[in-house]
Amino acid sequence: MAPRLQLEKAAWQWAEMVKPEDITREHIELAYRVAVSACKRGTCRRNCRGNPNCLVGIGEQSWLGEIDENAFHNIDDPNSERRDKNTFVGLTNLGATCYVNTFLQVWFHNLELRRALYRFQNSRAEGHNMDSGEIKDYEPQTICEHLQYLFALLQNSNRRYIDPSGLVKALGLDTGQQQDAQEFSKLFLSLLEDTLSKQKDPNLQNVIQQQFCGQFSYVTVCNKCGRESPLPSRFYELELNIQGHKNLTECVTEFLKVTAHISVPDSSICQSWTVIIATIARAVRVNRTPVTKCFIDIFNPFAHKKKLNTFISFPEVLDMGPFLEGKEEKCMYELSAVLIHRGVSAYSGHYIAHVRDAHTNDWYKFNDEEIEKMEGKKLQLGIEEDIAETAKSQTRKPKCSKGYHCSRNAYMLVYKRQTEEIDQTETNVEVPAFLQELVDQDNKKFEEWCNEMADMRKQSVDKGKAKHEEVKELYELLPAEDGQSYEFVPLEWLKKWLDDSTAIKEIDNSQFLCSHGKLHPDNIAEVKRISSKAADLLFGRYGGISRLGQSSLCRDCVTQRCRVIRLKNQLNEDYREVMNLAKAPLESDESGFWIGKASLRSWRQLALDQLEEDEEETKPNNSKVNGERSTDGVKGDNEEGDGEEMKNFNEDILCYHGGLSIIENDRRVVSAEVWHKLRMYFPKAPEFPQNHESCQQCMRLEREGKENEALNRMMANEQKSSLLNLFQEKNRPTLQKWPQDTDVLYIVPHYFVDEWRKFIRRPAKSNPVSSVGNSILLCPHGGFMFTYDSMLQGDGQHIALLWPAEWEVISRMFLVDQVISICRIHDKTQDNGNVQYQTHPDLCRECREGFIFQQQRDMREYAQATVYVRKVIDKKRMIKESAPEFSVSGSDVEDEREEPKMDGEKDPDFSQIMHAFSVAPFDQNLSIDGRCLTDDSATLGSLGVIPESIICLKADEPIADYAAMDDVYQVCMPEEGFKGTGLLGH
């Protein structure tokens, strides 16, 4: 038995031997466990909720042990945000702007570009007087101004990372949308080139071209005379196809090779030939490489973007000399940056940059805010190659030769041209004075923030130490010694008081009060007993209501609980005695009491319920006794479950008027001895002596009911004999085979016939039908709602046809609000035997059209219905076990949730067509009745899909690699790119 249950049992063990009227103060304190020994520290692992004197494990450990200053605050050390010496500054990722951060770090480490940007004429900033403090009002506005300021912060900021939101907002980029890094690089450099071209400094005007621009020619060569027609073109980066290649040299060679031999019907292509057809070949030749930087894009550039996860080898030093036309000079480039894309899809993932420091030649990994220096002087891609792969795409990394690197995640390679002489002064870039002033201003704000955070930490620590001494002192006063006065306070309040992170509210004991306004015994587990001295200090410091002192122990609740316990213990013995006495017949002169047979069978369960109910009356929140077992389902040997519907004992012999029921089969007489024992458990039960008369009202109603029943039987027999064929559904007229011996048939609602037949079958249990309501078949204008043809179809279920003789009987026996008939009319002008049918009243065409329209609308607007999807292969239906059902609404789109599966139905992994048939949405061709369902935004109803329809699914060739499904899905979606941003001049 758990300790809590042991405490509960020990607290009430005395109740079995003490009568309720003999309860003393000692018994009350036992019930409230006042004398239970307090737990000592280290003896129990957690607080004993059943012991009000246990004050261990409520959060005191952190206050009684050694002081940990970090526990008094949740403020991080501001110095953790400070830039370490000889390290670089990171950039904050604003959501999905890692592609921006990688290129900003690459461009920042291009010293020539940084130096040129610092020379950009910023008349707005230079116009501010730095000495007068006007520089504080300066805010960058243009793209170049933002880039200037950002580079200055990256160079001289004291922060570990800075926020690029100014530049991102100026460009109008969506921070939550991942974009293509290569496209961003192209557009940004183009925008930067256009901005710098308007500067007065000629060296600044062409800096982008000098840094990044090269030239190649598209050469067209005639195969007959060898004449060449070059078309020069500039490039800022080389876009290479890596598919099918193992190293970078192969990719460049393929880019420059002769691409095709073409026959062109145009003699103007080669002026040396006058024939009509000229055969030519086309190739690409590099005329000039970039002076400083060469960007090589090694993503797949064809058609829709798709990431290729094949390994490609690239050198640390790239010789472009063999690819130059007619030049024998050395053209060596060394690797200065590698942009990495982590992820399986070209439309998602994460970008990081590996950049070599121009000062020390050390390699650094730039991952947004985090910057990591590589060990040694070599590039180490490391875990950047450990991307998630499917089992089919796993490949082993090939061995790389010395001076080479292998990668399958490299997105762009940046090579810097080697120079024979390196001027050390060129590696030092000086920040202009006005930019340095802005950086100093930001550093000052950062230092002020650091000091403010340090002060807040110190204040929190000082406050925590003072609270520590206060709590330690008060905690030692909490235990109530023997003979001292005491009070009860909530356990949860004590825990929050000892938890410094929680705001302390006033002490509230109101939730633990019983109906008598005192502490309920069942709530003793929710409070703790403390000394009055400690209680005075806590209430005086924090306030509170409903103080619970020694006088708050409730005698009434303890007395009621004692009575319930004694009755529960006595119940089994009384049950056996009552059942034995009930079997004995009464003496001839003995007077007994009426008791319900169902009540007698289930009285023990009802007694348990009644005792529980008596106990609940004293509880404020109807909570169960701690550790008490539920008595649900505990019945005696002769109980048959009647107590489940019966709430009160002996109520089964009460009539509706509160008197003794007239049904004698439901009750029996028991002796006075039995009745008095039962009254101990049910003092409020209705009591009926044996000579008590049954309810007079019920007896009068019974007599009247018998008379009405006899009248109904007579009426039913008369109507049945008069309309026997209608009752038995024999010899019924039909519209399909119109009877030859009559030209008129009468119409009544089918509902009337159904109700009339129910009455005829059970006249004593059903109410007689008194009228024929034909108006429900008419429109508001009084016209008939159905046509002859519609009654041959589905509308025939709403009506019943009568012979003229039957109508005469019905008109006599029932009240008829409107006569409806249908007549057969012979066309006497012609001998072909044409027959027409006319209803009276006539058809209301306007209402009929509205009725049909509403029917069709209801079929297309439904809240819940079943639609079937069947997969078609080679124009044949293929049903795997059973076609999946989709429970849909008429306003939902085509992909819908699946209903709970039926017998034989396959069990798809998800509730979509894609996973039910393993067919992706872009491979689905849906049709119904030969019509293609192509509008993905339309509702099922608007597409003509009604309940129980069958949609045919014809699948395109499925995609085997689910890791690439994101690429295909994105291709199906319209790609906005940088539309509407500042990169496109908007």
- pLDDT tens profile 754-790: 999 999 999 888 889 999 999 999 999 889 989 888 8
* DSSP letter string, 670-686: E-HHHHHHHHHH-TTS-
The token pair that represents 928 in the structure block:
């119904």
Determine contact, residues 661/655, Cβ cutoff 8 Å: yes
The token pair that represents 176 in the structure block:
């939550």
Cα dihedral 13→14→19→21 (10° resolution):
-120
Q: Report whether pLDDT(24) > 90.
A: yes
Determine contact, residues 263/278, Cβ cutoff 8 Å: yes
Confidence tier at 960 by pLDDT (50, 70, 90): very low
Q: Which domains are present in the chain?
A: 3-70+464-556 (no CATH), 79-204+427-454 (no CATH), 213-426 (3.90.70.10), 559-694 (no CATH), 724-852 (3.30.2230), 862-955 (3.10.20.90)
Query: From CA 312, how far away is CA 251, in angstroms rounded?
Result: 10
Residue with tokens 């006794």: 625
Q: What's the pLDDT score for residue 982?
A: 75
Which span out of 28-42, 271-285, 818-832 was modeled with the highest average pLDDT? 28-42
Query: From CA 834, how far away is CA 824, in angstroms rounded?
Result: 10
Q: What's the pLDDT score for residue 305?
A: 58
- Span 122-137, average pLDDT: 60
Q: Report whether pLDDT(7) > 70.
A: yes
Strand order through the sheet with 278-288? 228-235, 214-222, 278-288, 260-264
Confidence tier at 483 by pLDDT (50, 70, 90): confident
Helices 181-196 and 98-108, axial angle in degrees (round to 10): 50
Confidence tier at 40 by pLDDT (50, 70, 90): confident
Determine contact, residues 698/661, Cβ cutoff 8 Å: yes
Q: What's the pLDDT score for residue 885?
A: 46
Task: List the single range of 8-22, 318-332, 465-479, 513-527 with lowest mean pLDDT.
Answer: 318-332
Side-chain-facing half-sphere of 84: CA atoms under 13 Å = 6
Q: State CA 915 to chain mean position distance.
A: 20
Q: What's the pLDDT score for residue 819?
A: 93
Q: Report whether pLDDT(963) > 50.
A: no
Q: Which residue has the higher pLDDT, 978 or 607?
A: 607
Q: Which residue has the higher pLDDT, 322 or 709?
A: 709
Q: What's the pLDDT score for residue 174?
A: 87
Q: Report whether pLDDT(902) > 90.
A: no
Count H helices, E strands: the chain?
A: 27, 34
Query: From CA 169, how far away is CA 183, in angstroms rounded?
Result: 18
Strand order through the sheet with 821-826? 799-802, 744-749, 821-826, 835-840
- CA-based end-to-end distance of the chain: 77
Q: Which residue has the higher pLDDT, 915 or 683?
A: 683
- Span 493-499, average pLDDT: 86
Q: Report whether pLDDT(867) > 70.
A: yes
What φ, ψ does residue 629 adopt, rounded to 5°? Answer: -75, 145
pLDDT digits (tens, 9 = 90+) for 623-647: 443 334 344 433 444 444 443 456 7
Q: Which residue has the higher pLDDT, 394 or 892?
A: 394
Q: Report whether pLDDT(486) > 90.
A: yes
Query: From CA 791, how far away is CA 804, in angstroms rounded?
Result: 19
**Single-letter residue type at 87:** T
- Span 955-966, average pLDDT: 54
Q: What's the pLDDT score for residue 910?
A: 30
- Span 320-343, average pLDDT: 80
Query: From CA 331, how far away is CA 289, in angstroms rounded?
Result: 8
Query: From CA 655, how far away is CA 752, in angstroms rounded?
Result: 35
Side-chain-facing half-sphere of 323: CA atoms under 13 Å = 27
3-state helix, strand, coil split of the chain in percent (to 5) is 40, 20, 45
Q: What's the pLDDT score for residue 825?
A: 87
Burial of 945 (0-12, 13-18, 19+ CB in 10 A): buried
Strands 278-288 and 214-222, sheet pairing: antiparallel
Q: Which residues of 495-524 are buried (b: 16+ CB within 10 A; e: fewer)?
A: bbbbebeeeeeebebeebbbeeebbbbbbb
3-state SS track over 206-250: CHHHHHHCEEEEEEEEECCCCCEEEEEEEECEEECCCCCCCEHHH
Q: What's the pLDDT score for residue 273?
A: 33
Q: What's the pLDDT score for residue 532?
A: 93
Q: State CA 2 to chain mean position distance.
A: 40
Mark out the alpha helices in 257-343 (DSSP H runs): none
Task: List the single range of 31-45, 126-140, 820-834 with lowest mean pLDDT.
Answer: 126-140
Q: What's the pLDDT score for residue 403?
A: 83
Helix (H) or strand (E) holding 8: helix 3-11
Task: List the single range of 388-402, 414-428, 878-892 with lowest mean pLDDT.
Answer: 878-892
DSSP state of 548: B
- Span 689-697, average pLDDT: 90
Query: For residue 841, is the peptide bond before it cis, meaning its omega torsion is within 30 degrees of 0?
Result: yes
- Catalytic (active-site) positions: 98, 350
Helix (H) or strand (E) holding 757: helix 750-761
Q: Backbone dihedral region of 948: left (phi > 0), alpha (psi from -120 to 50 degrees) or beta?
A: left
- Span 654-673, average pLDDT: 90
Query: From CA 820, how far away is CA 841, in angstroms rounded?
Result: 6
Task: List the single range of 47-56, 69-78, 250-259 with lowest mean pLDDT.
Answer: 69-78
Q: Report whether pLDDT(932) > 90.
A: no
The token pair that represents 590 in the structure block:
């003995």
Q: Report whether pLDDT(794) > 70.
A: yes
Q: Report whether pLDDT(222) > 90.
A: no
Task: Collect all residues with Cβ–Cβ distance below 8 Å to 538 and sequence separation of at least 6.
Answer: 474, 489, 497, 507, 530, 544
Q: What's the pLDDT score for residue 500?
A: 62
Q: What's the pLDDT score for residue 846?
A: 87
Radius of gyration of the chain (CA): 47
Determine contact, residues 494/54, Cβ cutoff 8 Å: no
Determine contact, residues 414/107, Cβ cutoff 8 Å: no
The rounded mean pLDDT for the chain is 78
- Span 729-734, average pLDDT: 91
- How many other CB atoms are there within 10 angstroms of residue 457's CB atom? 19
Q: What's the pLDDT score for residue 134?
A: 56
In the three-class reduction of DSSP (H, G, I as helix; E, B as strand; rest coil), residue 286 is classed as: strand
pLDDT digits (tens, 9 = 90+) for 142-199: 888 899 999 999 999 999 999 999 999 988 888 888 888 888 888 888 888 888 888 8
644 to 21, 471, 571, 637, 640: CA distances (angstroms): 34, 54, 19, 16, 9
Q: What's the pLDDT score for residue 880?
A: 39
Q: Report whether pLDDT(276) > 70.
A: no
Query: From CA 980, how far away is CA 813, in angstroms rounded?
Result: 82
- Span 402-407, average pLDDT: 84
pLDDT digits (tens, 9 = 90+) for 566-614: 888 888 888 888 888 888 888 878 889 999 999 998 888 888 887 777 7
60 to 46, 125, 147, 464, 497: CA distances (angstroms): 11, 59, 55, 14, 10
**Single-letter residue type at 386:** D
Query: From CA 366, how far away is CA 360, in angstroms rounded?
Result: 16
- How many other CB atoms are there within 10 angstroms of residue 965's CB atom? 17
Name the residue among 461, 313, 350 with its Cα closest to residue 95. Answer: 350
Query: From CA 811, how far away is CA 806, in angstroms rounded?
Result: 9
Q: Which residues of 709-736 are buried (b: 16+ CB within 10 A; e: fewer)?
A: eeebeebbeebbebbeebbeeeeebebe
CA dihedral sign, ordered 189, 193, 199, 200: positive
